[in-house]
Structure 1
Amino acid sequence: MTALGAVRARISNACESVGRDAAEVTLVAVTKTCPAADVATLARLGVGDIGESKDQEVRRKLDELGEQARTIRWHLVGRLQTNKAKSVVTYASAVHSVDRLKLARSLADAAQEHRETPLDVFVQISLDDDPDRGGVAVGELAALADAVAQRPSLRLRGVMAVPPMGADVDAAFARLAELSQQVRAAHPGADAVSAGMSDDLEAAVRHGSTHVRVGTALLGRRSPDVG
């Protein structure tokens, strides 16, 4: 898959430009609305981290992939309803879109009951305080991070954000880096930053992203969301 090589080269070059080790950056291949066969192909090529937006779509792919699904680290990267928490904790390695206390509590309760290891959690931040696009308001970030960190069934992994529409991506990711440092001051282990997609991963890496969520650059333009 030449697209995978190209994405890996972009990550490597972006890291080199700021003196980072490319091994610090995890490629999360976003396969929402793509067939399970694409997930299988990526896994065979060494991509162990797969991002999805909807629980019901992951469930279908788990069934189709069978035992191979167990070799994959599944990341939920889309907005998540609280009523999906019990399902998500049974297979997900990480949830990148925790943006409210109710969701954090639901995941924590479900993880305590249905998991043997803590669930990795990224707190999603709204950089423009637009609730319609997901993310906790900046002023409420510390309280949400504290709430996640206080639950033993969750591991506060770090922060996530998507740049506001039309924003300068370098400025947006610089702001996210500042907020990440604030969270780390209170929770030193929360050192991960989930930022950067197909069009802006270089800027995200320059500003410290540790997890880039790439779909289109790997698999092309997708059809509208299904399921």
Structure 2
Amino acid sequence: MTTSSADTRSVDSRREELAAGLKETRQLIEKLSHEAGRDTVPELLPVTKFHPAEDIALLAELGITDVAENREQEARAKAEELSDVHFHMIGQVQTKKANHVARWAHSVHSVDTEKLAVALNRGVENAGRDVLPVFIQVSFDGDTARGGVPLDGVAELAQIIEDLPNLDLRGLMVVPPLDTDAKEVFTTVRELANKLGEQLERTMKLSAGMSADLADAIASGTDIVRVGTGIMGARPLG
């Protein structure tokens, strides 16, 4: 199959768009980190949901090895097509799909129940793979319908995960509820992650911060930021 010059121009144009988005986002993260007085900048995890595998392949050409996805079936298809890219699950996971997620996910940022943790642990065993890094998703306001475990349930779920041999607890993830003070949310969960780390005697990371609340997340000490539109542009229509 041959590639027309128009197709080549289209691919080159898209690569340039992604490169520009990456550059601008990285510069913003560095600027915000400097303003917050941080010695290090958080890890950037591009969010690629709804964008085609071809875009992610171009990101890989630009040096991106890790991306985040929200929907299991979409992410699984992309992971099968792009074996050199690490796909991280940041969306809610139905327990019945845990076996699938455990096969393709490089990490899961949205563990919020014992049932899901046990299902992922079983899925890792069935897949015959190495341990799966996971983050506990925190529900700041206690409304678990949107995903997450309430603040007062984090320690218990953490201990459950610690007792599962195929999961490796790496930290906490949070998305500020609407009409809340994002900085208060991030600061509270950062402190909770630090406290959990002291109890477990290892560092617990914080996965928090998207385009709209990046400054507050970075100032509060997040370790991983998840940026979609700033890098990928508007979602494709269809």
Give the TM-score of the pair, scaled to structure 1.
Answer: 0.91
In the TM superposition, residue 70 of structure 1 has moved relative to its aligned partner by 2.3
In the TM superposition, residue 48 of structure 1 has moved relative to its aligned partner by 1.4
Give the TM-score of the pair, scaled to structure 2.
Answer: 0.87
Q: 1:223–1:134: structure 2 CA closer, same or farther, 3 Å change rule? A: farther
Does the Cα contact within 8 Å between 2:95 and 2:119 map onto a contact in 1? yes
Does residue 53 (structure 1) correspond to residue 70 (structure 2)? The answer is yes
Unaligned 5+ runs, structure 1: none
Quick one: distance in 1 between partners of 2:108 and 2:201? 19
Does the Cα contact within 8 Å between 1:31 and 1:51 map onto a contact in 2? yes
RMSD: 1.6
1:74 maps to 87
1:36 maps to 53
Quick one: distance in 2 between partners of 1:8 and 1:115? 36
Does the Cα contact within 8 Å between 1:52 and 1:58 map onto a contact in 2? yes
1:155-197: CA deviation from partner (whole Å, max 9, x where unpaired): 0000000011021211111111121122112223352110000
| Aligned mate of 2:179, from 166, 180, 193 | 166
Quick one: distance in 2 between partners of 1:14 and 1:73? 26
In the TM superposition, residue 208 of structure 1 has moved relative to its aligned partner by 1.4
Q: 1:15–1:200: structure 2 CA closer, same or farther, 3 Å change rule? A: same
1:57-108: CA deviation from partner (whole Å, max 9, x where unpaired): 0122234x3xxx2221210000000111111111211000001110000001
1:138-163: CA deviation from partner (whole Å, max 9, x where unpaired): 11111101111111210000000001
Does the Cα contact within 8 Å between 2:194 and 2:203 map onto a contact in 1? no
1:200 match: secondary structure:
helix
2:103 match: secondary structure:
coil
Quick one: distance in 1 between partners of 2:128 and 2:220? 33
Unaligned 5+ runs, structure 2: 1-18
Quick one: distance in 2 between partners of 1:2 and 1:16? 21
In the TM superposition, residue 12 of structure 1 has moved relative to its aligned partner by 1.0
Quick one: distance in 1 between partners of 2:97 and 2:224? 23
Does residue 15 (structure 1) correspond to residue 28 (structure 2)? The answer is no
Does the Cα contact within 8 Å between 2:79 and 2:85 map onto a contact in 1? no
Computing the radius of gyration from Cα coordinates, the structure with the larger value is 2
Aligned length: 220
List structure 1 segments (4+ residues) > 6 angstroms apart after TM superposition: none
| Aligned mate of 2:139, from 105, 126, 132 | 126
Quick one: distance in 2 between partners of 1:20 and 1:59? 36
The percent of aligned pairs where both chains have the same amino acid is: 38
Does the Cα contact within 8 Å between 1:27 and 1:47 map onto a contact in 2? no
In the TM superposition, residue 18 of structure 1 has moved relative to its aligned partner by 2.9
2:218 maps to 205
Quick one: distance in 1 between partners of 2:28 and 2:203? 26
